[in-house]
Each structure stands twice: as structure tokens, then as C-alpha cells.
Structure 1
Amino acid sequence: MTVLNARTKTGPGFTELEPRWGARGTARATIAAGLVFENVSHAYDGNVSVSDLSLEVAPGEVLCLLGHSGCGKTTLMRIAAGVEQQLSGRVLINGREVSGPKGFVPPEKRGVGLMFQDYALFPHMSILDNVVFGLRDLDRQTAEREALALLERVGLNGYAQDYPHALSGGEQQRVALARAIAPRPSVLLMDEPFSGLDRRLRDNVRDETMTILRETRATCIIVTHDPEEAMRMGDKIALMRRGRLVQHGTSAELYSNPADVFAAKFFSELNELEGIVTSAGIETAIGMLPSGDWPVGSRLSVCIRPHGLLPEVADAKPAIGRISNRRFVGEMDLLTIIVEGLNQALHARIRPGSGLEAGMDVALDTDPQDVLIFDAENAH
């Protein structure tokens, strides 16, 4: 058995050290399945939660369902698990209809694992028994052997006889992960699995969890409201809003080519300006910008990421704005810039040492790769 580092108390705050994770590459692989949502709709008491949504997850793919609370992420996941049944549309696993007009396959026969946000461990069962619970098709001896191997992989085999209340939040998350993958599901669904962890633990637990998921090779859907987390974990991201799919693709695709301002705002702070296309370019409060293929007369929403707004001392160029505030935040300076004619201040992120200070008049340029332009009528 792996020797674990014991829990110790350190410093005046008595910070507990988490047990080390087990050896990488030891989680057993499963046979991944493709998952398809086809024109799925759902409602609670007449209130639409998912609306005519179609989405495909390839075998072995990690998909992050991203969106604000109440957008339908968890509902869609519960439909996949069979815990909820949609009003219309179909759900297919490996091409087999598991929910739709042709019938309904109960959750326990879908080969789907579900990991809840609150972990949902059984408080009256030991850690070992919690993991064994999902292995009902095996005899007790075989089930315990499988469970102990998984507990060793997540670094908790030394706590097999403990009960959930004796574990920290990070340790409970590991037990929930072990229980979810124990039956070797072809599809694993995880509902905001890291939201209950403090930042000190979250990055480590998330990285180790993703390593285990890659080892199992299961198709995985992870619900999150954190765009950075989605970008770090997902092969693909599905961004939802009010029950609808806004955009589906890689993190690079959603960041570089957002479908609308809503999608763009999800991945970055934005300075939003009104623009109108003239023969000389896009006329904005900070000057002319290239118009590309937009026809003359078009009204546009011009969005500039803070690190794409480039202020400089107004010497050779005319002053466009004035710095009202500068804040040093480590690797960057945050500038607040007031521009005449704009109701809202602009924000820029620049490297320290520029010499720019509050009270200075500045000219403004932009980095084209951080300027996003949308039709004003269909921007949001």
C-alpha cells in the first residue's frame, strides 16, 4: 500500500495538509460512449429550462457546460443521466435512444455516472462502503478490492474505514470521484465538482481529477459557471443562456470568435463603444477603426478587451482621454480612462513601468486582435 503523508497541523492557523494523490496511470479505463442531445426541450411548471437544444459529445471527449446560474446546465445534465425527462426531443448514447419517443431507459441501465455538487456521500457508511455502493454487480470481495484500488489512486486508501464527516472538503470530493468512476461508466456527468473547495485546494484537486478522467477515457460533461475553469478542463465548451445553446466549440474558438457580445463578455472584460461605418472606417468615440467588410451606414457594437486598449502619452498624437486612476496589481497596471462623450470609463491593462500616471492626457490606439465587432441590433 502507498504510504500517505499524515495530517499535520502547521502554523498559527493549523492548516491541514491533504493526503497525496496515488500513482498516476493506475485508474482503469472504460469504453467511452458518444452522447447526443437532439432538439431537447424541458420546463419546470411551465417555465422553460431547456429550449430546442441540440449538442453532440464525442466518445472520450470532455465537454464543459458553461453559463450563469439558472441557464439550464444542470437540467441538461440530469436529462442525460435520466434523473429528469425532457418534454420533447431525444437523448442518444452510442446511437441508442435512451430517452425520447421510442422509450425511456432508467438511469441505472444507461452506463452513466453522476457526481453531484455537494458530493452526496452517505454519512452512515464508511468511505470504503461509499465507493463499494456503486459496484452492486460484483461480489463483496471483488467490489472491495476494486474500491480500495480506486481509493489508493485518489490517495485515500488509508482512510477507508473513516466516515465522510471526518474528511475535509477536498477529501470528500476525492471519495465522490472514486465512487462515480468505480462502475467504469461510459459517460460521466459532474455538476460543479470544485465549487465547494477553497482556492488553495481547487487548482490541485482539479488538475488531479482531470488526470484521472483522462486515464479512465470516459466521455465527460462538467457543469461550471467559471469560464477559466471551462477553458482549462474542456476539450470543447458549450455556452448556454436561458436554456439555449449560444455557442459550441473549443476554448480558442469561443474566445477568438465569440458568437455575440454575451459570449465575448463571458471570457473577458470588455470596453463597449458604439460605432457607425463611414467611408473612412468605423467612427467611434476614440477615433477611426478599420471597417473590414461592414457596409457604410452600419451601426456596430465595438468591443475592446482591456489589454487591447493601448494608451500612450499624448505628445505627437492628439489626446483622446485622461487617466483618472492607476492601480498596480502585480504583473499589470490597471488604468481607468475618461473619454469625453462616453458615459462609462474605459479600462486598460498595461505592463508596469510605462510612466503613465493618474491625471495624464493620453492618446489611444488598439490591438486589432483584441477588437471584436458586432452588428448593434443583434449583438446581445
Structure 2
Amino acid sequence: MKAICIICCALIPLAVFGAQASAGCSMVGDVNSDGRINTADSLLALRMAVGSMPPDIERADANRDDDINSLDALVILSMAQKTQVCVNAPEVVSGTFDVTIDIYNAADLDSGQFDLSFDPGVVNVSDVHDWNIDDITVPIDSWDFLDADTIRVLFNLPGVDGVSGSGQIAMISFEITGAVKDESVLDISNGELFDLDTYSEGIPAIWNDCEVTIGVPVMVNAQEVVSGGTFVATINIENVTDLDSGQFDLSFVPGVVNVSDVHDGNIGGTTVPISDWRFMDADTIRVLFDLPSESTVTGSGSLATVNFEITGSVGATSILDISNGELFDLDTYSEGIPATWTDCEVIV
């Protein structure tokens, strides 16, 4: 089975000292890929400049001269002092999902606005909610559709003090309108931030987009309360197309529950054979499944059934944490099938 990494979420600067937004899955200046620009990124750029670590032109070449040197570290350090606004969304989405508009380094923020555009054939906005910066609510003054593919959001903090710090200026609820593998950029634009002292000028900021991909939902399904010594968890999947093979890890608290066996799954009456499963550690198993020959399966059902025994006392809890999941079809094997992977919790 070929291991791959699907990376779908891109933070793309709308303006970085006049530079064009970078293509792909990176943000200029975010050298350590943590979704924001800070002094740690400047230090990493400096290490690249002196040759003590491999260069990353896409992220660290802040002045876009196709080289990484001390000037890039200085530019990134300057960027780190600015207010940054970032669209924060899951990389892969299914059903409904929420997006936050994150803000870093806000100083005396009083009010502002932004537009958010998307592909309505892939996702659509259902609501916009107040959120908070350092536990201070940022009220949404109004929001509306400017067009089928764009909303405008206005927010305004009451009083005259403003708010400083980092947090979120809004949470936006979306619903899926497209099909698996469809993609949409969540494009933030026309952003304005204001304080009370320099209201006419506004607060300069870096605004960053994000991209989402529709995926197949995969969920760990188990009874919330388990008893009797043993129980079963199924790894459910919905609306998959041409599934050929895949794998996942399942972690748990071995002092509460432990895996005793793993059995084949079933999608639409077709058996999904378990080709291998084993303990990676005392608290984690890895499960591989593979349909025979060139066959595939389409529909909903389960990838596997996992048998557990209870090892803990009454009241103990364990998350059944599914991770490192990969799904493959035959046509786009190198890319894989995007999916959302959802855990569950059991209580003894």
C-alpha cells in the first residue's frame, strides 16, 4: 500500500509587502507551518540563511528574490509585528462544518469588516456567529450575501475601550453542496480593522485565505456506555466511491479498554477484507484493508469491526481516536480519497 500525505488547506497571503500570493499549500513568512507568522519563523529563516538547515524558498523567501538571506529574516520579523487575520478551516470537510476567522496581535480593536467568498457549488454559508478575543465577545453587527458566492460580515465591539490580544472575530457555519474531492478556496478580502485612535487610517493587517476539500466521512461508532466485559466498535463510512484499499490507526486507553480482535467490514453487502492488523504500541493498533484483485466498492457501511475487552473500572473513560487514515481508489491512487475521520468516547 502506498503511503501518501494529502494536504489541502492553504494559507495564502493577499498582500505581503506587495508580493503576490503564493500558490499551493503555504503562506509566505509562516516558515514553521503553524498558521501564523511570529518570531520563531524569523529565527528559522535566519538559520536557513546561514545554511544550518535546508532552505524553504516557498515559505521563507519573504522578499521574493529567489534567495533566503538575513533580509528575509528581517522582513518576516516585521511581518510578525503586524496584526494577522486567518481563515481557519478543516483541511477536509463533510456534512456541515465551522470556520473561524482567527486574529493575532490585535491592538485596541474596535470594529471592522471583511468579505468571504467561496464556490457555492461546493460549500455554502448557513450562519455567522459572534466569537471572542481573549474571552471578550466580538459581536457580529450584521452579515449578508453580496452575491451567491460572497458574504460581507461587519463586527463592532460596544463601548470605547476596544480589545487587544488574539482569538477569533467570527465563526461561520457552512454546509456541503458539492461532491467528494470538490475544492473551494475560502477567500477573505476587503478586510478593514479599526481602532478608536486612528479610525480613518485603520489597522494594517495581513489577511490569509484557506482551501477546503470535500471528503468521505469515516466515524468510530460504539455505545457511549459499555459494560459486560466486552463491546464492539465499528468503523463506519458513508457514500464512498470506488474504494479499493486503505488503512487507519485506532488509539485508546489500555487501562480502560483493549483490542482483542479485528474483523472484516461490509459496504453495501460487499465484504471489506482486513489484510492485516497489529499493535503499534500498547495503546494503538493499525488496521489495513484491501479488496481483492482490481475490485472496488461504492456505498455506505463499515471498514472494520473492532472487538474490545473492558480493562478499567466503572466510570473510567477512553477516547477511541482514529488517525493516520488513508483511503484509495484505483484511478487516483497516488492522491487517495479525501476523508474526515471522527473519534468517539466510551464510558465504562
The TM-score range, normalised by the shorter chain, is: under 0.3
Give 1 or 2: higher strand fraction: 2
More helix by share: 1
TM-score, structure 2 as length reference: 0.22
The structure whose Rg is larger is: 1
